[in-house]
Each structure stands twice: as C-alpha cells, then as structure tokens.
Amino acid sequence: MKRTLPRAAVGGAVLLLGATLTSGTAAAEEGEHCVADMDTGEQECFATLDAALAAAEEGTAPSGLTTLSAEADARNDVIVGTFFTERDYGGDSLTVTAEAPCVKNGVMDYEFDLTGEFAPLANDISSVQPWADCWIWLYPEVGLGGDRDGPYKENTGYVGDFMNDRADSIGFS
C-alpha cells in the first residue's frame, strides 16, 4: 500500500488554536513548524515546535475512553516523522501524521512529496526523527525518485552529506 498526500488538499490550512498560529507562508522569527496530516492533506503551522507537536498530538488523541469507537478511529492518527531544516533538530520543522504505524514488510507505507505548500522544505532537510515504527527514506526527486538514502531508523541529528539539503520526497516504511 502506498499513501500519497493528496496535493489538492494541501493548501487548505486548518485554523486551530488561533493564538499560536502563524500564517501558512510567513515564517515567524522563531521559525515555522508545520504539521501535515497524510489522511486529509491539511497542514497547520505554528511559531514553535512545542505548539506544532502539541497540535499533532492533540490531533491523534481522543478525549477519553468514551471516544474509543470505530467511528473515532479515523481521528486517531499517529506521528510518523518529524523533519528539520537544521542539524540536531533545529530550524524549521515539519511533523507528518498518518493513519497507522508502519508495517515492516518491505513495502513503502507512505510517500510524501515536498511540493506545493511544503516546497519550502525541499532541498532543505538536515535532520529527521522517525516515529511509529517507521523507517524514513529521503529521495532527491519527487515521487520517491532518484538515489535514495536511508533508512533512518532512529533520531538522526544529521542525515549525512549525501542527502543533506537534497530531499524532495520522503518515504516511510
């Protein structure tokens, strides 16, 4: 199975927690920290990574046992990866959520192109953090094209000279 972020929906940033939101394009002094939802293609951007992760985690969290139903499952995404424009998890960031953890069966679970609203991160990723059992692969072309590097199986403060500031698409397996 391969899930690609629906590009048509990517531009539709959802406005939540207005007090902490930045605009979708203007980077605040603190940097820009966005959360992308693989299921919906929506993204939210925040001035701090704390706020972005809180939003990502909130989006993955039911409010309690009473919400645990099949209907609510669609909202129970997991974080699958966080990407940073500087080494050691500094600079701007993008946190990606998806419907389920990765399954270790040799198949790419998710694919994410750094295009459209995410183009500012293209050719700018320097450090990565895989979540939810995922391994991360970085590709120098969209659509998982070109010579990839990875898998990054754990927090990686520097992706290495080969793929530093080169990734245009991301695979999760």
Residue 28 binds to another protein (criterion: CB under 8 A): no
Residue 62 binds to another protein (criterion: CB under 8 A): yes
d(CA 126, CA 156): 9
Residues 87-126 that bind another protein (CB under 8 A): 88-90, 99-101, 103, 105, 107
User: Nearer Cβ to another protein, position 47 or 78?
Assistant: 78
What DSSP letter does each residue of 52-90 carry, written as one string?
HHHHHHHHT--SSGGG-SHHHHTT--EEEEEEEEEGGGE
Q: Which of 13, 16, 39, 57 binds another protein (CB under 8 A)?
A: 57
Among 120, 122, 50, 133, residue whose Cα is nearest residue 89 = 50
The residue count for the chain = 173
Count of residues near another protein by CB under 8 A = 37
d(CA 27, CA 75): 28
- Nearest-approach distance from CB 147 to another protein, in angstroms: 26
- Nearest-approach distance from CB 69 to another protein, in angstroms: 9
Q: Which of 34, 35, 36, 49 binds another protein (CB under 8 A)?
A: 49
Q: Per DSSP, which regions of 10-168 are E strands?
A: 33-37, 43-46, 78-86, 90-98, 110-113, 127-130, 136-139, 149-152
User: Which residues in this chain contact another protein in the complex, by CB under 8 A?
Assistant: 1, 49-50, 53-54, 57-58, 60-62, 64-66, 68, 70, 73, 76-79, 82, 88-90, 99-101, 103, 105, 107, 129, 131-133, 154-155, 157
